[in-house]
Amino acid sequence: MRVQFGWPIGMPLVRSLKDGLWEVRSTLPSQRIARVLLCFHDETLIVLHGVIKKTQKTPADDLSLAKRRMLEVKK
C-alpha cells in the first residue's frame, strides 16, 4: 500500500531496475530478503514477479521473467 498510494517512493523501499522495471525491497521476519518486481501501465501498478533472494544480486532468470511479463502487459 505504501508504494501504491505513496508513489513515487525511493530507496530504501523502492529502486529502479531500468527500462520501466521497479523493485520493492522488503526484509522478512526470518531476516530473508524478499523482492517484488513491478511496472506501471496506464497509471496502474502491475506486479510481475516476486522472489526471495539468497544473494545480494537479483537472479538473472527472475529479471528475465519479469521483463517478459512486462512486455506482455504493454502489448
Q: What is the mean pLDDT of residues 2-26?
A: 80
Work out the average pLDDT over 4-28.
Answer: 81
Whether 5 has a pLDDT exceeding 80, the answer reads no
Within 8 A by CB and 6+ apart from 63, the residues are: 17, 21, 37
* Cα separation, 4 vs 24, whole angstroms: 11
Residue with cell 538473472: 60
- How much is the pLDDT for 20? 92
**Residue 48: which domain range?**
2-73
- Say what the pLDDT of residue 10 is: 65
Q: Which residues contact 65 (CB under 8 A, 6 or more apart)?
A: 48, 49
pLDDT in tens, 18-74: 899 999 988 888 888 889 999 999 988 899 999 998 887 888 999 999 999 999 998
Say if residue 4's pLDDT is above 70.
no
Q: How many domains does the chain have?
A: 1
